[in-house]
Amino acid sequence: MKNWQKKVLAVVLAVALIVTGFATSTFMDGNSNKVVKETTVSKTNDNKSDVAKADIVSNKDTKTEKSKEPNVSENKNNVDNKIGDPDKKIDYQKIIRETKDEDYRKAVKVKKGGFVVIRKEDKNTKPIEEEQWYKDAKATDSEVIMENTIKDNDGKEHKQVSYKITTDEKDIWSIVDNTNSQNTVEIAEPVYKYFTSEESVPSAEDNKGMAKQWYLKDQKLESVWGNEDYGNTAGEGTVVAVIDTGVDYNHEDLQDNIWTNSAEVSGTTGADDDNNGYVDDVHGINLIDPNETPMDDHGHGTHVAGIIAMENNNVGGVGIAYKSKIMPIKAGGSDGTFYSSDIAKGIEYAYKNGADVINMSFGSSAHSALIENALQDAFGSCVLVAAAGNESVPTADCPLST
Ligand SMILES: [Ca+2]
Ligand SMILES: [Ca+2]
Ligand SMILES: [Ca+2]
């Protein structure tokens, strides 16, 4: 898939995901720059007759609509951001300053009993368990979340390792502050919680077919699908990682559009056949319970996957990119809560296992260096799509608002 095609897909995904209001009921009006209140229900009913079936839509002559097609350069801000610039260095001191703010600490939700540490390492670096701050924090266990390579100001490359540290201490912020004052640490931060907006997930009753998918019409999806200038692919050959509460990969309108790990599907049960660190990850991974598949136990992830890749098969609705493959990454629990450490692992899995696009339909007011690191690495090979406009503010929500 070419870069511009990815960008078109990303813009389309981002806009459609926002407009469907699955995350909340507000979105940005791109022309007037004002936040407008969207009433999903009335919109759904108003456009009932616009579109009958997916197969009719895909055969439609769309030439007359060409002038109204989405314009990548006009929508550039939807896909461009600071993350991914190879020369950009993440300013950990700035993040530490920002997160010391009392209002920030009141606004974000953190996981009890753990925190994250990112540090530069080489052969002379002391093992983490021997560090004094590790002992001061009454840490009982550490787990590597990810490893990446960073460049110093003089261009010298260093290994950077991110750990999740388990502790019995209750006051995570004081541990974080203490750890941040140590010179062997680049940054310490809590394990943050991220959330879906559960109340706005449409019910199955409201979604009995494409006739109700008014956003497809609104976003000129039909002209994208039928138009060779846009690749005419509907996402063909594209893998979209959905980091969410899991995906019902057996769903009748999704089952043929689920990514399959070829090494694992033809491999040995109980063995990590492709040596990617995950045993039997045939259809993605479950970071909440590594012994389980990424089956959805909440509903949000399946809903998001459906917006992206419901099949063109006369069952149910049709996805924006109905020929793409969904890579399910379960990083959110059955209560719709996500931890930053799981999100970062999910991002890493996605880009290392061939995702072209990473969809992140969750948010928080937290600013996680761990997630920013993961996104920085992912940006080299993936288009990143995140929730935006959900809090009536004209910016991308986390994780892309860093
Ligand atoms: Ca594997
Ligand atoms: Ca296996
Ligand atoms: Ca369908």
Encode pLDDT of 226-258 as tens digits. 666 666 578 889 999 999 999 999 999 999 999
* Nearest alpha carbon to residue 330 among 343, 313, 315: 343
What distance in angstroms lies between residue 283's CA and the mean position of ligand 2's atoms? 11
What distance in angstroms lies between residue 322's CA and the mean position of ligand 3's atoms? 8
**Lowest-pLDDT choice from 247-261, 275-289, 313-327:** 313-327
Ligand lying nearest the CA atom of residue 316: 3
pLDDT average, residue stretch 19-32 = 31
Fold assignment, 92-100+107-193: Alpha-Beta Plaits (3.30.70)
Please answer whether residues 168 and 148 qualify as being in contact, where contact means their C-beta atoms are separated by less than 8 angstroms.
Answer: no
What distance in angstroms lies between residue 282's CA and the mean position of ligand 2's atoms? 8
Mean per-residue pLDDT of the chain: 77
Higher pLDDT, 395 or 380: 380
CA distance 128 to 131: 5
pLDDT at 37 over 60: no
Task: Locate 7 and state its tokens.
Answer: 């960008």
What distance in angstroms lies between residue 66's CA and the mean position of ligand 3's atoms? 26
Return the domain boundaries, the chain: 3-84+197-386, 92-100+107-193
What distance in angstroms lies between residue 184's CA and the mean position of ligand 2's atoms? 38
User: What pLDDT score does 225 carry?
Assistant: 73
Fold assignment, 3-84+197-386: Rossmann fold (3.40.50)
Ligand lying nearest the CA atom of residue 311: 3
What distance in angstroms lies between residue 350's CA and the mean position of ligand 1's atoms? 13
Question: Does residue 399 have a cis bond before it (omega within 30 degrees)?
Answer: yes
What distance in angstroms lies between residue 342's CA and the mean position of ligand 1's atoms? 17
* Nearest alpha carbon to residue 21 among 35, 38, 9, 36: 38
Reported as a single tens digit per residue, the pLDDT across 104-153 is: 999 898 998 999 999 999 999 999 999 999 999 999 999 999 998 888 77
DSSP 8-state symbol, 203: P
Number of other residues whose CB lies within 10 A of the CB of residue 287: 24
What distance in angstroms lies between residue 334's CA and the mean position of ligand 2's atoms? 26
What distance in angstroms lies between residue 26's CA and the mean position of ligand 3's atoms? 27
Reported as a single tens digit per residue, the pLDDT across 40-80 is: 222 333 332 222 222 222 222 223 233 333 333 443 343 33
3-state secondary structure of 143: strand
| This model's pTM is above 0.85 | no
